[in-house]
Amino acid sequence: MVTVYLNDSKLEIEEGKTILEASEKAGIDIPTICYHEKLTPPGLCRQCVVEVEGARVLLPACITKVRDGMKVQTDSDRVIRARRTILEMLSGSTDLTAAPELKEQMVQYGADADRFKDTRERTYPVKDDNPFYMRDYSKCILCERCVQVCSSDIQFSYALTTTGRGYKNKVSTFYDKKLPETSCVFCGNCVAVCPTGALIASNEYNLKSEGAE
Ligand code: SF4
């Protein structure tokens, strides 16, 4: 066991646990985006950053292990500013209209959706290449949950991957093939873990397009 201090509250926790797990045990809310409890934390989005005494930069709680005597601030001004800016940057580049959790976080952190309104928005045509689900990558925040669930975390199909760099970074199939031409088995796990509605069952997409609730 190690002793950690979360916002000055003392907590005993097993060695090897992350700050995020420690905060859950202490009942302290740390927001996440790319993290999913059933998947290997990729530490990509940085929304769960916290301030650790002695560290020069903010650290992602989902992949940072606790150590004995660690002192962590989960909601300092610096942390809140970082989270707010991440949400504002996502909002400036991506369609978040079907991402309720992110919209809640925008409200919680007072994020200004228009702060980066002059950013070039990442837009792509909706991919409709199979009977089961649609891929609307204009809504994709590149959390990579779908890639992980499709590969060694759950399904071992390896139908999805990431491609491109920087602004052109996106989720795709290998060689951008249509899904029925890939190793996809249409298990639906990627749709289940997508936090933004970028992956959506075709019937649900069609109902929404027709204006149904
Ligand atoms: S499609 Fe969804 S799950 Fe996949 S990376 Fe984009 S937002 Fe994440």
pLDDT in tens, 11-53: 999 999 999 999 999 999 999 999 999 999 989 999 999 999 9
Taking only the tens place, the pLDDT of each residue in 188-201 is 999 999 999 999 99
Asked whether the beta carbons of 15 and 66 are under 8 A apart, the reply is yes
Taking only the tens place, the pLDDT of each residue in 61-73 is 999 999 999 999 9
Name the CATH architecture for the domain at 133-209.
Answer: 2-Layer Sandwich (3.30)
Question: Does the beta carbon of 96 sit less than 6 angstroms from any atom of ligand 1?
Answer: no
Q: How many angstroms does the Cα of residue 90 sit away from the middle of ligand 1? A: 13
Fold of domain 2-75: Ubiquitin-like (UB roll) (3.10.20)
Ligand 1, pocket-test mutation among 91, 102, 144, most atoms within 8 A of CB: 144
Could you tell me which of 142, 108, 103, 107 has the C-alpha nearest to residue 122? Answer: 142
Secondary structure (3-state) at 4: strand
Domains in the chain: boundaries: 2-75, 133-209
Instruction: Give first-to-last CA distance, the chain, whole Å.
Output: 49
Cα 168 → chain centroid:
18
Put simply, whether the predicted model's pTM sits higher than 0.85 gets the answer yes
